[in-house]
Every structure is written in structure tokens, then in C-alpha cells.
């Protein structure tokens, strides 16, 4: 099984889901996508994660991100489980959950790690840009729920660094200072791109206020 790496094209697929048949690339359109796997329906951590995803729908929307979940459970189990998520997490699930009972998508995205579980998907996350390129990945064991503030932070960093010649430092959050990429050396271009100025900590470490998005 080939390993998906950063810069690879996210594999296309057609699969059933809680909202009907999904043709992935067509469904994604020109949006960013966060595709995330959960081990199983009717499990406690997954219930909180999908509830958190629904609660953050406005945050995803303003970033142009479509979330989509996946597990190897069939559609009827998803439909039975969604009311539990809505009730216990005080939200409304408003994104698709792929029903990957035949493991077609799980195998494409290498979501089943036999040494962790031979039957359930691990908690993987794929950040996919509008060109269908995989830009970042995260993987957690079944016992560890994801930090959804971190997922949003990664999207913010990717989108910012796509539009400006900057990188984001450790623990960066939207609005914090950023780093001018070392490859940018032209003084006129630096002055034009960063009118608020910058601080040279080391020749390779130049800190500047975050540019406007």
C-alpha cells in the first residue's frame, strides 16, 4: 500500500455517506477539505469529536473548509448514531460521514493500522487544498481525541503562508507575529510586503507582525 505524502494528490473516490453518494473531488469543489477518520460509531471519544466538528461549522465555513468524516461503519449505523451526537454534544451534525464498510477509502488513505487495530480506522486527519493536494496530516491513536483548535490553527497557517512569504513559529495563533522566509532577501520586496517593519533576531530569523489575509 502506497503511503500518501505531503504534496501528493488526495485520491478521488466515490463512496456512500450519511448524506448520500459522495464523489469526493466533485464534492470538494474549490474548497479546502479536512478529511478525518474515526474508529467506530457509538464510541465515546468519536461522539465528542464529531460534535465538536459540528459546533465549529461557522469557523470551518469562514475559512472555506469542508469537513468530512469516515469510518468503516455502514450508513444505517451513522444515521442511528447522529441523533446521539446531536443530543449529547448540543449541536447538529451538518457534514457528511462516509460509510466505508468495504474499506475502499480506508485503504486508499491508509487509515487502518493493523498493529493498532485490524478492524477500526485510526484517528487520521488530511488537510487538502482546493487543488486537491495533501498539505498536512496528523494521526492519533483511538484513545486520544483530537484538538480541533489545532486543526483550525493548521488551516490558518497554511492559508496565510500560501498568500505571503512567511512561516509560522512554534505555538503560533492567528494574529501573532510571523517569520519572514529566509529565501526572501530583496530589501525592496521586503519593505513592500512588510510595511510594518520587522525585527532581525538572527540573519535567518526575522520576525514581523502578521500580514493582512
User: Which residues participate in catalysis according to the annotation?
Assistant: 46
Please name the residues in contact with 76: beta carbons below 8 A apart, sequence gap of 6 or more. none
All cell numbers assigned to 113? 493500522
H-state helical runs in 3-147: 24-28, 44-55, 57-62, 75-89, 104-108
All cell numbers assigned to 95? 457534514
φ, ψ at 44 (rounded to 5°): -70, -45
All cell numbers assigned to 120? 477500526
Phi-psi region of 110 (alpha: psi -120 to 50; beta: other; left: phi over 0): left
Amino acid at each position: 500500500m502506497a503511503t500518501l505524502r505531503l504534496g501528493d494528490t488526495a485520491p478521488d473516490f466515490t463512496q456512500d455517506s450519511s448524506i448520500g453518494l459522495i464523489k469526493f473531488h466533485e464534492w470538494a469543489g474549490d474548497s479546502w477539505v479536512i478529511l478525518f477518520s474515526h474508529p467506530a460509531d457509538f464510541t465515546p471519544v468519536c461522539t465528542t469529536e464529531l460534535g465538536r466538528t459540528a459546533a465549529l461549522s461557522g469557523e470551518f465555513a469562514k475559512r472555506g473548509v469542508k469537513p468530512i468524516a469516515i469510518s468503516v461503519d455502514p450508513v444505517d449505523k451513522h444515521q442511528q448514531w447522529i441523533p446521539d451526537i446531536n443530543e449529547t454534544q448540543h449541536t447538529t451534525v451538518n457534514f457528511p460521514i462516509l460509510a466505508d464498510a468495504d474499506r475502499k477509502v480506508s485503504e486508499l488513505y491508509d487509515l487502518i493500522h493493523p498493529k493498532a487495530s485490524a478492524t477500526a480506522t485510526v484517528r487520521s486527519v488530511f488537510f487538502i487544498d482546493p487543488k486537491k493536494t495533501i498539505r498536512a496530516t496528523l494521526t492519533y491513536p483511538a484513545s486520544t481525541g483530537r484538538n480541533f483548535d489545532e486543526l483550525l490553527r493548521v488551516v490558518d497557517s497554511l492559508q496565510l503562508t500560501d498568500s505571503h512569504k512567511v512561516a509560522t513559529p512554534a505555538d503560533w495563533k492567528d494574529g501573532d507575529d510571523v517569520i519572514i522566509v529566509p529565501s526572501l532577501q530583496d530589501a525592496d520586496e521586503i519593505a513592500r510586503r512588510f510595511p510594518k517593519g520587522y525585527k532581525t533576531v538572527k540573519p535567518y530569523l526575522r520576525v514581523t507582525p502578521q500580514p493582512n489575509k
